């Protein structure tokens, strides 16, 4: 899938993606990069993006990389998040960008699936503001649940 098609797919199937106007800048099996535009209606009490909007941005970036990396496995398994942890590091203001990376090699995950197992793998997402400062970090664990 291309960046455009993954972005279009997620915007059409996950209403919150469209609501927050998330922009898909890059989506490959190696990384996914999404931007949350600065929008007053989604700001918090200090004028930055609300924690819920930042969480949605990071989780959406993780989902984009999972689709890019394992889209060819969708006929036999469903990707599902199983756990997420988010740390807020600095105040975010303006547009913020989330960059997701896989924490395990794709081949290792697929090999477990081939053995009939339910593989789990982490995705790390860094959220940065325009000056490059990391404002938040999410670690989300995903699984590929085999279809019964």
Q: What does the pLDDT look like over 101-135, one tens digit per residue?
A: 999 999 999 999 999 999 999 999 999 999 999 99
Nearest to 121 by CA among 111, 130, 131: 111
Give the model's pLDDT for residue 74.
95
Give the model's pLDDT for residue 106.
98
Give the model's pLDDT for residue 5.
85
Give the model's pLDDT for residue 148.
78
Instruction: Write out residues in the chain with pLDDT < 50, as ranges.
Output: none
E strand or H helix at 37: none
Contacts of 131 (CB under 8 A, 6+ apart): none
Give the model's pLDDT for residue 22.
96
- To the nearest 10°, report the CA torsion of 53, 5, 70, 58: -10
Domain ranges of the chain: 3-146
> Is it true that domain 3-146 has CATH number 3.40.50.150?
no
Q: How many residues does the structure list for the chain?
A: 148
Query: What do you get for the CA distance between the two ends of the chain, in Å?
Result: 25
Q: Is 2 helix (H, G, I), strand (E, B) or coil?
A: coil
> Nearest 5°: CA angle at 139, between 19 and 54?
25
Give the model's pLDDT for residue 66.
97
């Amino acid at each position: 899938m291309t960046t455009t098609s993954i972005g279009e797919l997620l915007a059409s199937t996950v209403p919150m993606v469209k609501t927050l106007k998330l922009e898909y800048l890059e989506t490959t099996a190696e990384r996914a990069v999404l931007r949350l535009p600065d929008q007053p209606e989604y700001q918090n009490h200090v004028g930055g993006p609300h924690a819920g909007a930042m969480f949605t941005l990071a989780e959406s970036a993780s989902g984009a990389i999972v689709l890019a990396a394992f889209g060819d496995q969708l006929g036999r398994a469903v990707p599902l998040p199983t756990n997420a942890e988010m740390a807020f590091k600095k105040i975010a203001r303006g547009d913020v960008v989330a960059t997701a990376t896989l924490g395990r090699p794709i081949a290792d995950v697929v090999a477990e699936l081939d053995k009939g197992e339910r593989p789990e793998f982490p995705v790390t997402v860094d959220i940065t503001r325009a000056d490059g400062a990391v404002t938040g970090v999410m670690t989300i664990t995903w699984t590929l649940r085999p279809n019964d």
